[in-house]
């Protein structure tokens, strides 16, 4: 089906994909590129340096200014506000506007405000009315002003303390990630947790570190390792841990020293919702190597053989 433009709509661009619909009182400038099967609702304005992927929905009352990039399957709710200038002044223009990128499959709720130069990761969900002042990680759910992470879009939630101690360890359906038992002894004198390196862990550790004193609003991790595997044990408090192999995810609550989370190499990991008293112990199979880190989720997907869509190719 050819492009449909409502009689009261204006579409000056020739770079519009098949089956895209442009509804009344919308205006698309000549330089804009819009993919196939998009739905541009009433009262939408799209400036020249804007790129939309395929199957994008832009609801009424949205303006997409120069520098906005929306990947495939993005949903933009009504009256969402994008910006491209941190310090706007009348009649003062930047030669190159800041770029705002929204990853594939992400959704932005009605009335949200997106500050310039931000990246919203693939699969993320921005709550209605949120004010996005920082980058939003892939698959994160954010809400509030300023927007904070309140959860993740996951296939499954797991509470490690509710899993029985068992052999073989409890698998999570995310690659080879799994919950492993840690021995705990408790008596009137207190409690002790013990790990035998050669018996209890899937590898002999080359490094140990601990994470503590993390503000509950902050997120740690957000990376994968090419070669290094890790086991995470929460010695005090609680923390939520995302494990992601690129096709499946699990959200694991670590709240006991009697369970450890094994994260093999090439697993994307994120930790969030730390309690004030959280102490997270981490056993690593390799010494620290900056080159072992993958810190961008799209790069991670490419390295495991799942190419990410490029909105500029629309």
Closest by alpha carbon to 45, among 61, 23, 21, 24? 61
Q: The tokens of 292 are what?
A: 């072992």
Backbone angles phi, psi at 229, to 5 degrees: -105, 160
The position carrying tokens 């094994």 is: 262
Point out the catalytic residue in the list 223, 225, 273, 286: 223
Task: List C-alpha distances in Å: 305 to 47, 154, 169, 171.
Answer: 34, 21, 28, 23
Task: List C-alpha distances in Å: 52 to 73, 141, 167, 283.
Answer: 9, 22, 49, 43
CA 172 to chain centre: 20
Q: Which helix (H) or strand (E) holds 251?
A: strand 249-254
Q: Is 223 designated active site?
A: yes
CA 98 to chain centre: 21
Give the strand pairing for 157-159 and 249-254: parallel
Residues carrying an active site annotation? 223
């Amino acid at each position: 089906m050819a492009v449909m433009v409502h009689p009261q709509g204006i579409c000056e661009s020739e770079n519009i994909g098949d089956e895209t619909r442009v509804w009344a009182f919308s205006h698309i400038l000549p330089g804009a590129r819009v993919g196939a099967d998009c739905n541009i609702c009433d009262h939408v304005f799209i400036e020249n340096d804007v790129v939309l992927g395929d199957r994008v929905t832009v609801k009424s009352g949205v303006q997409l200014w120069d520098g906005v990039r929306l990947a495939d399957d993005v949903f933009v709710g009504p009256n969402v506000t994008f910006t491209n200038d941190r310090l706007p002044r009348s009649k003062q223009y930047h030669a190159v506007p800041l770029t705002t990128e929204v990853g594939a499959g992400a959704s932005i709720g009605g009335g949200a405000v997106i500050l310039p130069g931000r990246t919203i990761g693939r699969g993320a969900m921005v709550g209605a009315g949120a004010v996005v002042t920082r980058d939003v990680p892939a698959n994160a759910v954010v809400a509030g002003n300023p927007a904070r992470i309140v959860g993740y879009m996951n296939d499954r939630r797991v509470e490690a303390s509710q899993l029985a101690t068992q052999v073989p360890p409890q698998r999570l359906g995310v690659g080879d990630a799994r919950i492993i038992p840690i021995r705990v002894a408790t008596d009137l004198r207190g409690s002790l947790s013990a790990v035998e390196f050669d018996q209890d862990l899937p590898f002999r550790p080359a490094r140990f570190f601990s994470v503590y004193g993390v503000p509950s609003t902050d997120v740690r991790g957000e990376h994968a390792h090419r070669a290094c595997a890790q086991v995470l044990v929460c010695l005090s408090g609680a923390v939520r841990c995302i494990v992601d192999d690129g096709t499946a995810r699990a959200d694991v609550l670590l709240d006991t020293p009697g369970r450890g989370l094994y994260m093999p190499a090439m697993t994307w990991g994120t930790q969030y919702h730390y309690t004030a008293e959280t102490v997270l112990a981490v056993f690593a199979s390799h010494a620290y190597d900056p080159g072992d880190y993958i810190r961008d989720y799209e790069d991670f997907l490419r390295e495991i053989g799942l190419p990410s869509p490029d909105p500029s190719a629309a």
